[in-house]
Structures are given as structure tokens and as C-alpha cells.
Chains A and B, each alone.
Chain A
Amino acid sequence: MNKHLLSMHDLTAEDVTRVLDTAASFREVGSRVIKKVPALRGRTVVNFFMENSTRTRISFELAAKRLSADVINFSAGGSSVSKGESLKDTALTLQAMGADAIVIRHSSSGSPLQLTRWVEGHVLNAGDGTHEHPTQGLLDLYTMREKLGRLEGLRVAIVGDVMHSRVARSLSFGLVKMGAEVTLVGPPTLIPPEAPEWGVHVGYDIDAVVPKLDVCYILRVQKERQRQEYFPSVREYARLFGLTRERAALLPEGSLVMHPGPMNRGIEIDSDVADLPTSVIEEQVTNGIAIRMALLYLLLGGSGEGEVA
């Protein structure tokens, strides 16, 4: 494994399998009465969140605590960042406090990479701008593998605003790496022009794709990242690309509906569809804790000098 997790490209297919297998053991820990193991006792994990987040921050916090690490939560609002402190000075402060791992969420793409140049600890990307969100991608791979028994050959559509979606990037790279067949579906304005280089198919008609899927992965319409209108109206988007009840009925038996959250019910996904048994959106959240425990364990647990007798 690389020292840091900045992108899905930091992991080989074998690494991905190792992360998913390790996460399976942490799922078992999460089902115990005492959901805590002493693996990372005495280590310090800093959650450095410069952008709003509920599930990723809580998930990382819980993951670190269940490994017995000490956790410091640090967000833009209540810190010196609001007094104008630069990313570099903040990073050096965290470094001086002896952080073994820094989990960073930032609105600027590439800030986790920049952070690795200033700190000695491990850096985990928890979402940077429109670049990547590898832990989300991994928890999605875990959920698919657990539910469908494999990743190789799975037919997965990622539907919506791929352009602004770091989740879509990490998930596409991960799925292609593991041998799945990925189709990106969305308005032409929201499909990045370089997408075919990722090894994926591109489609613009959701109705043509849905009947041949194992997984229908719905992306959130990210109003906060759109500086201009990429589609005429939310209602038109919902009609053309939303996973309505009628469309969900066309999904093959046993296929999954997934969404990274938070959902805009009624826009990209019908409220009824989100609550169907085929939808595994809540399990994605539970699996997220196990995946983040696995990553912290594999990165921090292997940071020593060599063999111990």
C-alpha cells in the first residue's frame, strides 16, 4: 500500500481486494456489543474538514474511535482558518501536534496532495473539490461485492452530474480496475469530455441502460458546485435522468440502487425508490465505517520499520 490515500489510482487491484477483505472483519467488530478494538491505541487521527460534511466526518470519527485512536475534529468554522490562517500554517500546526494521520476534506482539488508535502503523517483524502473521494468509492465497491458476490463483470451505470462528482471519478476508476463494466449516463453538458479515457462507456438515455444493469448508481445534483446552468431546469432533469418509480421497475431482478447521499428526493431519485428494498443506501453508510477502519488500520498499522521477533 502507498503511504497516503489520495486517489483510487494509489491502489492496485490487489490493494483494493485487501481493503475490502479487511473491512469485512471490521464489519464483524461493528456487530459486537463492544465495538472497539485496541489496534491503533495511542495514535492520533486528525479530521481536517474545510467543507461541510455529515456522514464522511462522523464515519471517519467513529472509525478512528473504534480502533482506539485519539481523534481531533477540526473544521473551518471554529478554527483559526476563519481568522485567515493558510492551509500550510494549519498543516504545520497539525504536524507539530504529532498527528499520525490527517483526514482532509477540502473544496480545492489537489489539496490533499499539497498537504503530503508539509506533513509527515499519512494523508487520507475525504473528498477534494471535483477530483476524488476514494473512501466513498471503496465503500461502494464493498457494498456491491457484498450484495452481488463479485465485482468483475458487473454492469454499473453512474447517473447524473459526473462532471462535478468526485464520487463518480473514484467509483469509476475503482470499478474499471476491478473489471466491472461502467456506463456514465447524464446530460451531455455534465459528462466530462475525457470520460472515454477512463475505460468507461458513455450514454445519454437512461431508459436504454436501466434494463441491463446490476447496479444503478445515482449521483446527487450538486447545486453548490454549478457556477452556471448545465441543464434547463430541475424538473426537466428529473424527467430525463431521475430514477423514477417507473424506471426503477425496469431494473432487472436482484439489481441494486445506490446513492452516495445526501439525497435530493424527488430530483435525482423518487422518494419511493429510495425506500425500496433494492436500495442499499443505508447499508452504504454502515459499510463506510468498516472501510475507513480498514484503511486507517492498513495505513497506520504498517508504518513501522520492519519485522519484529
Chain B
Amino acid sequence: MSGKVMDEADVRRALTRISHEILERDRGIEGVVLVGIADRGDDLARRIAAEVERIEGAAVPVGVLDITFYRDDIGLTTEAPEVHETRIPFDVSGKTVVLVDDVLYTGRTIRAAMDALMDLGRPRKIQLAVLVDRGHRELPIRADYVGKNVPTSRADDVRVQIRELDGQDAVVVEEP
């Protein structure tokens, strides 16, 4: 599969469905918080939060998590990985934390995100929502909510574009 695999409407429908699934699985939003992984994951988390609020009529807290300091490849690259902001203005202890990211690939980012979350408190439960699952896991990690499964080869480049950063919503797969 290559080219544009999701357009504006596909992304909107996927996020709407994920929002419904979160509400269904967690039986409302009591004790649920969304934490987006910077960058792009945080924008997606804010969109899901807006959708959940539209459906349920109650606000769900949103935080943004930078996982750079928890990466397993620090010191292996020639440039230190770029650092983003972490801003989680609530206590994650005892909460159901839904991690939100754009693409699920090797699972290493999610491993780092879970370690980072554990240092911030003791969540009751951690779930994972991703817009695209492209396969090729290197760790025993799976998503609870998936926008779209996109079969790819390892050499492919999967680009998630979102309005806030890229001016439009789309998921594009480029073959080498």
C-alpha cells in the first residue's frame, strides 16, 4: 500500500470512532486522562478530547509527554535527539491513562512513554490509541485503539500530517 492511505475525512472518522471506543471500553470518562506523545500525538489527543467532550458533555484532561530522555538510542546517534516539552497538569496516579500517538511501529516509543509515565505517578491502567499501526513490532506491545492498520514494508516511510503542524490531515506512505 502506498500513496495517500487516509485523507481528511478518514482521519476525522477514525478519531471519532476511537473516541466512542474509549468511552465504551472505559464506561464514560470518569478517571480517564489523555496523554499525547510529542509531537503530533498531543494534537491528536486534543482532538480526541474535543470529540469525547462533544459526545459525553464533559471535559477530559489532556497532557503532553516528551519521551526523549527515556529513549533507548541516546548516545548512539551523532546528534542528541531533539527534546520537546512535557506538560501534564494533573496527577496520573490512580487514573486510566490513554496514551495517544500518531504511528505505532517498533513499539520502542511506547515502551519509553510507559517508563516516563511511571516516573510521574502510578496510573491504574495504561491504554494505547494510535492513528496508524504499521506493524513490525520489536517489543511485545499492542494498541487498544487503532485508527487504521496499514501494512508496510520496513523500508517504507509513513508520514502522518495533521492540520496543526502540516496544514492538512493525511496519512501518506512512501515507498523508497
Tell me if A196 counts as interface (CB < 8 A to partner B): no
Chain A: CB-nearest residue to B79: A302
> In B68-109, which residues have CB < 8 Å from any A CB?
68-71, 73-81, 83-87
Known contacts: A34-B119, A34-B120. The answer to whether A40 contacts B74 by CB under 8 A is: yes
Chain A: CB-nearest residue to B70: A38
Tell me if A307 counts as interface (CB < 8 A to partner B): yes
Return A68 CB to nearest CB of chain B, in Å: 9
A306: which B residues are within 8 A, CB to CB?
A: 77-78
In angstroms, Cα B78 to Cα A28, docked, is: 25
Among A28, A297, A305, the residue within 8 A (CB) of B86 is A28
> In A13-36, which residues have CB < 8 Å from any B CB?
21-22, 24-25, 28-29, 32-34, 36
B116: which A residues are within 8 A, CB to CB?
A: 37
Contact A301 B78 (CB under 8 A): no
Tell me if B66 counts as interface (CB < 8 A to partner A): yes
In angstroms, Cα B11 to Cα A16, docked, is: 38
Contact B75 A304 (CB under 8 A): yes
Contact indicator per residue, chain A 280-299, by CB within 8 Å of chain B (1) or not (0):
00000000000000000111
Tell me if B115 counts as interface (CB < 8 A to partner A): yes
Tell me if A212 counts as interface (CB < 8 A to partner B): no
Tell me if A303 counts as interface (CB < 8 A to partner B): yes
In angstroms, Cα B81 to Cα A308, docked, is: 11
Return B18 CB to nearest CB of chain A, in Å: 28
Known contacts: A32-B120, A34-B120, A308-B73. The answer to whether A25 contacts B78 by CB under 8 A is: no
Tell me if A43 counts as interface (CB < 8 A to partner B): yes
